[in-house]
Structure 1
Amino acid sequence: MTIYSLYIYDRHCACVYYQDWHRTKGPRPAAMEGGILPAVSPAVYPRHEEPTFESASTYSSPRNTLTSSSGIVVAINDDAPRTPLPQQTQTSTSQPSALSSILTFDEESKLVYGVVLSLRNMVKKLSGKDEQFVNYKTSTYKMHLYETLSGYKFVMLTDPNADSLRFVLRQIYSGPFLEYVVRNPLMSMDSREHGIDNEYFRMSTDRMIRGLTIFQ
């Protein structure tokens, strides 16, 4: 048994945080910047091609930028997201069909949220308001849900044979989330602008997940 990934959604239905561990196929970066908030995860933010510095006159930056032939680079992109982006790796030309079959992260996060919303509404209609949707499983994975009073939804995907991990999601909320996100005066909670850009929260969550007995 193992843990695959963690999603956090806010009350605006936006994915504000993502982290994965044992996914065999990682998500593709979002198709465009408008499809995902900055700082959700460096692995899924849209990647751009490196600019070519053929001539210094073609770069419209207020700072002086030397050409690559000088061996010195002094330009800094002030508009880049705060979370550093990973280096783009070259993929083999023999795998275009495999890559195209993987959803982009903005599409994947919408599908995950759609499943949560649909099952939650179905449970309330069939079982009444006192019942809550906490998890469901298929032949390949199990989805766990913990929803806070403020509207945040913590969603985790694990091995289908895993026990309920709702208590783990509650611990993430009551521990690292409250400590490094909610009570952090430097942290903006307006998810309309960016995701949870806090490395302490990411590292603390990663340490908590790796310490579980289910994590292999």
Structure 2
Amino acid sequence: MTIYSLYIYDRHCNCVYYQDWHRSKRPRTAVEGGLLPAVSAAVYPKLEDPTPDAAGSRYGTPRNTLTSATGVVVAVNEDAPRTPLPPPRANSPPVQQQQQQSQQQSQSSATLTFDEEAKLVYGVVLSLRNLVRKLSGRDEQFVNYTTSTYKLHLYETLSGYKFVILSDPKADSLRFVLRQIYAGPFIEYVVRNPLVQMDSREQGIDNEFFRLSTDRMIRGLTVFE
């Protein structure tokens, strides 16, 4: 059993955070303008050479974060470069090179861009949540569903944030894990951070401490093996 990926959506239906671990198929880079900045460096369109602003920074929004314990402003890491696909071997015959290229093109065309994938995940969650409420009343909550290849878990906060995690179909309910992420790292490094805009439609959760804390929490679970 294992955990595949984590999505966080805000009250405006925007994906504000993404992180993955054991995905066999990597999502394609989102189209320009289809994803908020700082959601994930792995899927956000890479800018070639952004123009420095008046303060000398190459980013239009602040990329610093505030530690709650010491109050020291710490700069976060830059966007990690993505490794391109390896070129075909030099000693490969022309037919084999063409087959490799065609396989790469077919895999690229078969995979959705990340912004499309995030919209589909949110659409499934919203549809099933509304269906459960209509059939069972407002006292019942949609918490997870299982397919032959994955299991989706949902935790929704009172403020409208939706935490979604995809895991192995044999995994038990991970709703308590999502609640721990919200009550722990999310409250500590996002809600209580004055540099993070909680009600903004312009940027995702740009906080390295939150990402590292979430990664450490997920890797510590027994289901992560």
TM-score between both structures, scaled by the size of structure 2:
0.81
Kindly tell me: are residues 81 and 113 of structure 1, through their superposed partners in 2, closer, same or farther at Cα, counting changes over 3 Å?
farther
Alignment correspondent of 1:184: 193
Amino acid at match of 1:137: T
The residue aligned with 1:69 is none
- Work out which of the residue numbers 142, 148, 161 in structure 1 matches 2:170: 161
1:76 Cα shift? 7.1
State the SS of the aligned residue for 1:214.
helix
Superposition pairs for residues 34-49 of structure 1, below 5 Å?
34-48=33-47
Relative to structure 1, is the Cα distance of residues 127 and 88 closer, same or farther in structure 2, using a 3 angstrom cutoff?
Answer: same
Report the more deviating stretch, 130-139 or 179-188.
179-188
State the 1:86 CA deviation. 2.8
Q: Deviations over 1:107-152 (max 9, x none)?
A: 0000000000000000001111110000001000000000000000
Identity between Structure 1 and Structure 2 (%): 72
**CA distance change for structure 1 residues 61 and 85 in 2, over 3 Å: closer, same or farther?**
closer
Q: Deviations over 1:69-88 (max 9, x none)?
A: xxxxxx97445994633323
> Which residue among 135, 149, 159 is the counterpart of 2:158?
149
Match for residue 203 of structure 2? 194
Gaps of 5+ in 1: 52-59, 64-74
Q: In structure 2, do the counterparts of structure 1 residues 191 and 27 end up closer, same or farther at CA, with 3 Å as the change threshold? A: farther
Residue 62 to residue 171, structure 1, CA distance change in 2 (3 Å): closer
Identify the residue that residue 124 of structure 1 maps to in structure 2. Answer: 133
State the alpha-carbon separation in 2 of the partners of residues 24 and 152 from structure 1: 27
Aligned to 2:213: 204
- 2:190 and 2:210 in contact (8 A); partners too: yes
**1:98 matched to 2:107:** yes
> RMSD between aligned alpha carbons?
2.1
1:134–1:166 Cα contact (<8 Å) kept = yes
2:83: which partner in 1?
Answer: 89
Structure 2, unpaired ranges of 5+? 64-76, 88-99
Structure-2 separation of matches of 1:191 and 1:169: 22
Q: In the aligned structure 2, how far is the partner of 1:18 from the partner of 1:209?
A: 13
Q: Structure 2: how far apart are the matches of 1:175 and 1:61?
A: 35
Q: Deviations over 1:19-67 (max 9, x none)?
A: 00000111111011x110000000010135x57xxxxxxxx9899xxxx
CA contact (8 A) 1:10 1:191 kept: no
- Equivalent pairs counted in the alignment come to 195
TM-score by length of structure 1 reads 0.84
- Structure 2 counterpart of 1:202, which letter? R
Written as runs of structure 1 = structure 2, the 5 A alignment for 1:6-155 is 6-32=6-32, 34-48=33-47, 50=48, 77-79=58-60, 82=63, 84-91=78-85, 92=87, 94=101, 95-155=104-164
Please state how far the C-alpha of 1:154 moved relative to its aligned partner. Answer: 0.2
Task: Specify whether residues 207 and 88 from structure 1 end up closer, same or farther in structure 2 by C-alpha distance, changes over 3 A only.
Answer: closer
